[in-house]
């Protein structure tokens, strides 16, 4: 799973034009010479999605192995993230919700209209979100639980399969455990007798 970028936009309710307020990118997996054009593509596509989305909506668009997730709040603040196809949609929207909540607490809504370029925005939290959400299981408890359940299912399946592969049925195992119990009792009684004999000497 890979998270490539997070962008925060403000969409003017009257003109439906979107302005990027802040963005963060992780383009290390792209060649150095392509990074600029990839970044421009992500910015342009994110802006287009925000402008075409209705207030209070969430949407995901898949294109050429990449997913763009957009969340536009009723107040015009929007979050966009670009991921690969393996990145879960639920995780992407959880992350965007947290990003927008954090942005709202640190940058007052009266400032959004005034921001014309990213350097005007004093918010610095996107890079931390980008780094933290590269591994969703560390950032999102639900994902961690899902992964643990999947791992447990795999281990259980392997264990059951190995028992069946050996040709042993559960009934055979139960019979063997009963026989083992009888042998243990016999061993215990013989050991006690031996210990009594040793005590007399």
Q: For residue 166, report the phi and psi dihedrals to the nearest 5 degrees.
A: -75, 0
CATH class of 3-134: alpha beta
Q: pLDDT (tens digit, 9 = 90+) per residue, 94-136?
A: 999 999 999 999 999 888 988 988 888 889 999 999 998 888 7
* Closest-CA residue to 123 (of 141, 156, 139, 101): 101
Position 198 scores a pLDDT of 62
Which is more confidently placed, 62 or 167?
62
The average pLDDT across 58-66 equals: 88
Cross-strand partners of 23: 7
Q: For residue 65, report the phi and psi dihedrals to the nearest 5 degrees.
A: 85, 5
| Cα separation, 119 vs 145, whole angstroms | 39
CB 80 within 8 A of CB 69: yes
Position 166 scores a pLDDT of 62
Which is more confidently placed, 170 or 27?
27
Residue 19, by phi and psi: left (phi above 0), alpha (psi -120 to 50) or beta? beta
**Residue corresponding to tokens 């400032």:** 111
Position 192 scores a pLDDT of 67
DSSP string, 17-76: -EEEEEEEE--TTS-TTTHHHHHHHHHHHHHHHHHHSPTTEEEEEEETTEEEEEEE-TTS
Q: Is the pLDDT of residue 8 over 90?
A: yes
Which is more confidently placed, 189 or 127?
127
* Closest-CA residue to 88 (of 69, 73, 72, 70): 69
CB 12 within 8 A of CB 76: yes
| Cα separation, 117 vs 22, whole angstroms | 8
Domain ranges of the chain: 3-134, 149-200
Pair of tokens at residue 13: 């309710």
**Residue corresponding to tokens 């040709």:** 167
């Amino acid at each position: 799973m890979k998270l490539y970028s997070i962008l925060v936009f403000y969409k003017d309710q009257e003109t439906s034009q979107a302005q990027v307020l802040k963005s963060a990118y992780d383009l290390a997996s792209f060649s150095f010479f392509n990074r600029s054009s990839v970044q421009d593509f992500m910015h342009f596509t994110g802006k287009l999605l925000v402008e075409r989305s209705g207030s209070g909506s969430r949407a995901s668009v898949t294109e050429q192995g990449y997913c763009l997730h957009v969340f536009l709040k009723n107040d015009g603040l929007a979050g966009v993230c670009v991921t690969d196809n393996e990145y879960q949609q639920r995780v992407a929207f959880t992350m965007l919700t947290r990003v927008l909540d954090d942005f709202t607490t640190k940058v007052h809504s009266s400032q959004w209209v005034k921001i014309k370029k990213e350097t005007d925005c004093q918010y610095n939290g996107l890079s931390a979100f980008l780094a933290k959400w590269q591994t969703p299981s560390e950032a999102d408890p639900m994902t961690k639980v899902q992964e643990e359940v999947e791992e447990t299912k795999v281990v259980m399946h392997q264990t059951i399969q190995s028992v069946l592969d050996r040709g042993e049925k559960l009934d055979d195992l139960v019979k063997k455990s009963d026989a083992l119990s009888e042998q243990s009792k016999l061993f215990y009684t013989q050991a006690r007798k031996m210990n009594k004999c040793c005590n007399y000497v």
